[in-house]
Amino acid sequence: MNRLSRLAPWLLALSSFVAVAAEPVDEATGRQLVDSFVEDITTFSAGFEQVLLDPGGEVLERTTGTLEISRPGQFRWSYVEPYEQWLIADGLNIWSYDLDLAQVTVKPQAQALANTPALLLGGAEDALEQFDYEGSYRETVTTWVRLAPKNTDSGFMRVELGFIDDMLSRMVFFDNLDQTTLVEFSDLAVNAPLEPGRFRFEIPDGVDVVGTPVVASAPVD
């Protein structure tokens, strides 16, 4: 069975809380799963496979890579196949580096991640304040929690977080183009040491830079 065939059943279950084999989960349990992921985990690393579907369910793109999180405020989302691209949040800026194009785009992190699912990865103090809880349910071994951004200007309409044995294992994003992005994690490691340099971006020679990075303010004596 290929990976998309494995993903398809739980994608269907996301379409409605009354889907076959989906059981409602009480609000306290759903909220606790998300709160624990955002507030109790200091580091998180995993491999991932990502699939982008069009409104009709056809596959537009498949990608694989790794995710590393170091809280507060840092993460590295690295695409490996079919192209190599890094998305690095260093706490002040978010850097999007396309290795094939030799170009990096930098934006202030708070502005770029506002009301996006990526905000939950960095564990910002106000991350959960930017989302409305819309319910939770259990589908086979996965407990799903549905969140909707309070402001949809970022292009995301809602996000589904899937927990297996209380650990984030799957994510699904629904955007305002009616496209769906499915992410499945593997080889998870939680609260294990991560190299701090993984969350710093140094501009390579010969790379074009679009945007101006925010610089940390000097401490006041």
Identify whether 174 is part of a domain.
Answer: yes
* Amino acid sitting at position 131: F
Identify whether 2 is part of a domain.
Answer: no
CA–CA gap between residue 164 and residue 166 (Å, rounded): 5
pLDDT band at residue 132 under the 50/70/90 scheme: very high
Q: Which of 24-38, 76-90, 175-189, 204-218 has the lowest mean pLDDT?
A: 204-218
Give the model confidence (pLDDT) of 140-156 as tens digits. 899 999 999 998 888 88
Phi/psi of residue 131, nearest 5 degrees = -130, 150
pLDDT the model gives residue 85: 96
CA–CA gap between residue 93 and residue 213 (Å, rounded): 6
Identify whether 124 is part of a domain.
Answer: yes
pLDDT the model gives residue 162: 95
Range of the domain at 145: 22-210
Q: DSSP for the chain?
A: --HHHHHHHHHHHHT-TTSTTEEE--HHHHHHHHHHHHHT-SEEEEEEEEEEE-TTS-EEEEEEEEEEEETTTEEEEEEEESS-EEEEEESSEEEEEETTTTEEEEEEHHHHHTTSTHHHHHT-TTGGGGEEEEEEEEETTEEEEEEEES--TTSEEEEEEEEETTEEEEEEEEETTS-EEEEEEEEEEES----GGGG---PPTT-EEES----PPPPP-
Both tokens of 91, joined, read 């706490």
pLDDT the model gives residue 21: 60
What is the model's pTM?
0.86
Identify whether 12 is part of a domain.
Answer: no
What contacts 106, CB < 8 A, 6 or more positions away?
Answer: 93, 94, 95, 96, 209, 210, 211, 212, 213
Identify whether 9 is part of a domain.
Answer: no
pLDDT above 90 as % of the chain:
69
Number of folded domains in the chain?
A: 1
pLDDT of 179 strictly over 80 = yes
Identify whether 7 is part of a domain.
Answer: no
Identify whether 4 is part of a domain.
Answer: no
- Round the average pLDDT of the chain to a whole number and report it: 87
pLDDT of 129 strictly over 90 = no
pLDDT of 53 strictly over 80 = yes
Nearest to 34 by CA among 148, 112, 114, 140: 148
pLDDT the model gives residue 99: 94
pLDDT band at residue 10 under the 50/70/90 scheme: very low
pLDDT band at residue 111 under the 50/70/90 scheme: confident
pLDDT of 137 strictly over 90 = yes
Mean pLDDT value across residues 189-205: 96
Residue 138: CB atoms within 10 A of its CB come to: 17
pLDDT band at residue 88 under the 50/70/90 scheme: very high
Longest dimension (CA), the chain: 62
pLDDT the model gives residue 17: 36
pLDDT the model gives residue 116: 85
CATH of the domain at 54: 2.50.20.10
pLDDT of 80 strictly over 60 = yes
Identify whether 55 is part of a domain.
Answer: yes
pLDDT the model gives residue 122: 82
CA–CA gap between residue 155 and residue 126 (Å, rounded): 19
